Structure 1
Amino acid sequence: MHAWEQIQETIEFIEDHLSEEINTENLAKIASLSPFYYQRLFSRLVKKPVAEYIKLRRMARATEALLQKDRRILDIALDLGFSSHEYFSRTFKDTFGMTPTEYRNNPHVLNCMTKPELLLHYTLIDEGVPLITEGIVLEVNRRQLTQSIKFVGLEKKMPVQFVEGLGTESGIDPLGALWDALHDQKVSKLAVNQEDEEIGVAHPCADEGHFIYFAGTKTDSTEIPNGFTSWKLPQGDYIVCSFEAENFQALVMDVLYKAEQYLYGTWLPNHKLQTEPFCAERYASHTPETTSMEIWLKLL
């Protein structure tokens, strides 16, 4: 068994026992490693110390549980291994900047610590060969776009640190509000259907240390309403990563991050391919029923 497989085994154990006390020494035994080496290896592969990772996974689970409004917050706290309502509330606020009650009364899209799938860092697939791991089906192919596709939408300047923290840092997702604004105005101002294809694009900007994120919808119109901007997916040869998840929330908050990490960290370098400096997320629809999407990267 490889070292990453030993760590993944303990990640699965943690996920199944978040409501219980989890002892680092016991995790080290499961991994057949010394506690010292286990903690060093875990931090290197997961990007978080063991105790912090456990806390953040409990907080991620809490964001889902709090949306079940028939459950008492105290019961949720106890189910996640917290000894009191106060301790749970303090930890939640330290993590997300709001109390559980505030979140429940006014839910936000939150970035949460995802459960790592270390297989994605160490498994290389050929084009057209699916990679299947827990909750994810992923496939990479080449496609040619014979003519550009126009999208109209909204954009926001973001710090590069936002991308670097995806999947590991927790807090309110600033892009959630951008997508909400697009959906609120999509039909009334852009004269398109709510179900029409959408795209999210991260591309460079002149301000060092930042990038532009564009959220838009496909359109044939030549008019751009006030406050909106346009972006074209250029014609050319592309690497396209198609992937599926169990539900829309997992798709955009977990699997999308993992697919991008796999493409940029494993697949492209090992295939010795380079792409233009934009990443396009294509959604056939942005509805809660959507469980699949694509990442398009234009080859240099």
Structure 2
Amino acid sequence: MDWVKQLNEAINYIEENLAGEISYDTISKIAQCSVYNFQRMFSYIADKPLSEYIRSRRLTLAAFDLLNSTEKIIDIALKYGYESQDAFSRAFKNFHGVLPSIVRNETVQLKSCPKLSFQITIKGENHMNYQIEQWPAFKVMGISHKLKTAAAFEVIPQIWESAWKEGIMKRLIENFPDYRPAGFLGIAAGGQWGDSEEMNYIIAVTSHVDIPECEHIPALAGMQEFSYPAATWAIFEANGELPNAIQKVYKQFYTEWLPNSGYELADLPVIECYMQENRQEVWIAVIKK
């Protein structure tokens, strides 16, 4: 399926269910990627989190309902997923700047968030340095953290901070085997449809690559080993200051590279490689269409 078509079908599903329950499992099925990757992709393309977009669309429609119907405010609140009128009123005021009760009694200025529509963009403003590699199976060793998918963007930076404070990074440095994927690895695993509420985030280093000359480094005490199959990887250079360098690569990948590449996403985690002197790589598994 065409990547841009998948994104627009996911947006259509959200639009059709704004007055009801929106299933992140269904979104990920439509987009054919994990919930976490869809959320990340969406935030880079739309410049806002998926949850904020859904909330803004619902509050936009709620304002229309207040203006054009006689429904009770509590019924409108429940319709758009708020458990109480107070919660709805607070969210409505944060978005529109006025309470919903005022909308029906006074002429006020309201905000509108339009429905998004994705299309291929060919800008050519900034080039991307990348290579396509058929990489053999490999193993990594590290620490895995289970977290709520919806909270991933807030929690992951805290995981890195704790890993430094607790000496995990020091232990990895001291036993660094210097295999590719290189450097410290940030791996978002799981969060696929059917199991989208939770995911694992792994901080690791590569401990073995399935080639004859590579020695297997056993996992250190208290760490786990994770295996990944041979696959085709698009490997992007993301050098520069963090987090902007990584974010720039993701935005260009989803908006420009992937729609025009002839590839689609493979069902494997995205791997971020953090090396020295502001050098980074992003490994994204792909399949030729």
TM-score (norm 2): 0.45
Which has the bigger relative contact order, CA under 8 A and spacing at least 6? 2
TM-score after normalising by structure 1: 0.44
